[in-house]
Amino acid sequence: GLVDLSAFAIFDVSGPGALAYLQGLVVGQMDVAIGRVVYTPLLNAAGGIVADLTIMRLGKELFRVVTGGGMGMRDKKWFVDHLPTDGSAQLFDATSALYTLGIWGPRARDILASVTRDDVSNEGFPFGACRVIEIGSVRALASRISYVGELGWEIYVPMEQGLKLWDTLW
């Protein structure tokens, strides 16, 4: 299935203190290789769950946080309220700039492989990985993650390329 996920809230966290900042807020280990995706709870000071979300490591000092649209602005406030006061980490709200599409199901790989030259095999693009690929004529950030218990990807492109991405996969 193809699912429009444009309601997701997306925040880029960058700076020399980005890793330490995120590590202090979530359960999952964030010191992972560039190109890894971590599904993790966001916690309050008492260890209670504030949200569950994914964080992609896009660079040494660059992470992308993806959280549910219904609570996205609440989650944004949580992240903003906990930014380091020394300015070592910054948050950029990319929600309105990016279109997100989910492609999930037993034929997701077949469909994606039919419109890209990139290796989307299990060996070439394992679960929990993310990277830029070409889908038709669109450069996209693809994240191999699924909330539906099936094979699949979340795919991110600039908002103005969302329809082209959808039509290409359709």
For 23-76, write each residue's pLDDT tens digit.
Answer: 999 999 999 999 999 999 999 888 899 999 999 999 999 999 999 888 999 999
User: Which 3 state secondary structure label does DSSP give 59?
Assistant: strand
Q: What is the mean pLDDT of the chain?
A: 95
Band (159; pLDDT cuts 50, 70, 90): very high
Q: Does the structure show a pLDDT above 90 at 83?
A: yes
> Which pLDDT score, from 0 to 100, does residue 28 have?
94
What letter does residue 129 receive in the DSSP assignment?
B
Band (144; pLDDT cuts 50, 70, 90): very high
* pTM: predicted TM-score of the whole model, two decimal places: 0.94
> Which pLDDT score, from 0 to 100, does residue 19 have?
98
> Which pLDDT score, from 0 to 100, does residue 146 have?
84
Rounded alpha-carbon distances, angstroms, from residue 33 to 18, 28, 30, 54, 59 = 14, 13, 9, 15, 9
> Which pLDDT score, from 0 to 100, does residue 69 have?
82
E-state strands within 77-149: 90-93, 98-104, 130-135, 138-143
Closest CA to 8 of 77, 80, 95, 79: 95
